[in-house]
Structure 1
Amino acid sequence: MRPEDVLPTYDRVARGYDASRNRTLFERRWLDRMLNFAPGRRVLDLGCGSGRPIATYLADRRCRITGVDGAPSMIALFRQNVPGAKAVRADMRGLDLEERFDAILTWDSFFHLSPGDQRAMFPVFAAHAGPRAVLMITTGHVAAEPIGRVEGEPVYHASLAPQDYADLMSAHGFEVLDYRPQDPACAGHTVWLARARPVQG
């Protein structure tokens, strides 16, 4: 199982994944915190998947969502499930939408990239961050490259060391607001919440 196998795997299992995805919205507290810190409601959802339940929750809160996913079947489901959102079929790596957002979210998607590709995403985050934009990502809690499963199929994951993420955020203009490794209140997810530093005049 390699990083380049991730998108074809999600493309194959998209409908089953959408049907079985946990919709209890255990992510709600973090999503609400993201919106509370964000200066507006323009949200970039990277690795948006089928849009349920996260993008639909954000849409209910009057967010203007741009969903990006590289799996054709996933972005087709996103268009169906979140009809008011903008849907972009694209790989998040090297993304350049020529647009800036109030919040950038990559929930359970960024960690499917290789360590090198994860490092290369931080300039992408910075390029799409508007003034005082919020960035929220989920990662692993230790440096590792485990293989998980989605709809019975193996799928690649990777994580850098926490200090590496903190250093990358700082180097690309983000200040960490909160970091919770294996948050027990969020189904064990490791969550980073950061904000773009003000531009020095």
Structure 2
Amino acid sequence: MSDSAGRLAYGDLQLDRTGQAEAFDVIGDRYDEAFPHKEGQLAATEWLVDSLDAGSRALDLGCGTGLPTAHRLAGSGMDVVGVDLSAGMIELARAHVPDGTFHQADVADLRPGGALDLGRFDAVVAFFVLLMLPRAEIPLALRTVHDLLTPGGLLALSMVEADVDDFEIPFLGRHIRVSGYLREDLRQVVESAGFEVVDESSYTYAPASTDVQPEEHIFLRCRRLG
């Protein structure tokens, strides 16, 4: 049912993850081979490293193989927790980042009262994970992230700029469903969830050896308000 502010809540949605995790289970470490250039991701991660002290808690939401983000954060001395829906990706992340803690879970599991209570974090990273959700759920996921962060906590997120909602695309020999926004719409959704956007950058990216067309990647560096 809707929350006290009359906004859509998880109880209003019929969550459908059919095929999403299974695609990444099959893709495995071919993901890093197909996407070797991660300049935007690395730059946003360095922003967190430069902004936070060693020992800070960081959540890598949609951690994938753990490379490069969780690996870099853990190497800087942060207490890193990773979450991914794909069991195969979690297995790879545990191998790549032995100092991290990784859970196979859904973003919906992290909401207040959800199946997995991870406590609070000084930073959350959400690189290309929100695009795996239908648009109706993305504001809920962002509010979940807001709840997971300490006051003033940092969020680094990225999305592909595209005006699509739960749209099926071919991806490394499988099919996945993705959503996206035009950049001004993305900023509005993020700000409406209680974040200040402190920086924005974008990169035109053509994946290596995949059937995905060149795309625009938007990176937002944000701070929790309230």
| Identical aligned residues as a percent | 22
1:155 corresponds, among 172, 176, 192, to: 176
2:132 equivalent in structure 1: 112
Q: Deviations over 1:52-103 (max 9, x none)?
A: 2221122221121100011111111111111110111101124142411111
The count of corresponding residues between Structure 1 and Structure 2 is 195
Partner residue, 1:81: 96
Normalized per residue, the structure richer in helix is 1
Cα displacement string for residues 82-125 of structure 1 (whole angstroms, at most 9, x for unaligned residues): 11101111011241424111111111222111111212112211
Alignment RMSD, CA only? 2.5
Does structure 2 conserve the Cα–Cα contact (< 8 Å) formed by 1:140 and 1:160? yes
Structure 2 CA distance for partners of 1:92 and 1:185, relative to 1, 3 Å: same
CA contact (8 A) 1:34 1:193 kept: no
State yes or no: 1:136 paired with 2:164: no
How much has 1:167 moved relative to structure 2?
3.0
Alignment partner of 1:47 out of 57, 62, 80: 62
Structure 1 residues 155 and 35: CA distance shift in structure 2, 3 A: same
Which 5+ residue runs of structure 2 have no aligned equivalent? 1-15, 112-116, 208-215
35-44 vs 68-77, which deviates more?
35-44
| In 2, Cα distance between equivalents of 1:186 and 1:193 | 23
Q: Residue 67 of structure 1 contacts residue 87 of structure 1 at CA under 8 Å; is this kept in 2?
A: yes
User: Higher relative contact order by CA 8 Å / sep ≥ 6: 1 or 2?
Assistant: 1
Q: Is 1:173 matched up with 2:194?
A: yes
Alignment of 1:70 with 2:90, yes or no, is no
Scaled by the length of structure 1, what TM-score is found?
Answer: 0.84
Asked whether the 8 Å contact 1:42–1:101 carries over to 2, the reply is yes
Is the CA contact 1:67–1:86 (under 8 Å) kept in the aligned structure 2?
yes
CA contact (8 A) 2:83 2:104 kept: yes
Q: Aligned with 2:81: secondary structure?
A: strand
Corresponding position: 1:95 with 2:123 = no
One-letter identity of the residue aligned with 2:88: S
Partner-residue secondary structure (3-state), 1:144: coil
Deviates more, 1:114-123 or 1:148-157: 148-157
Deviates more, 1:78-87 or 1:154-163: 154-163
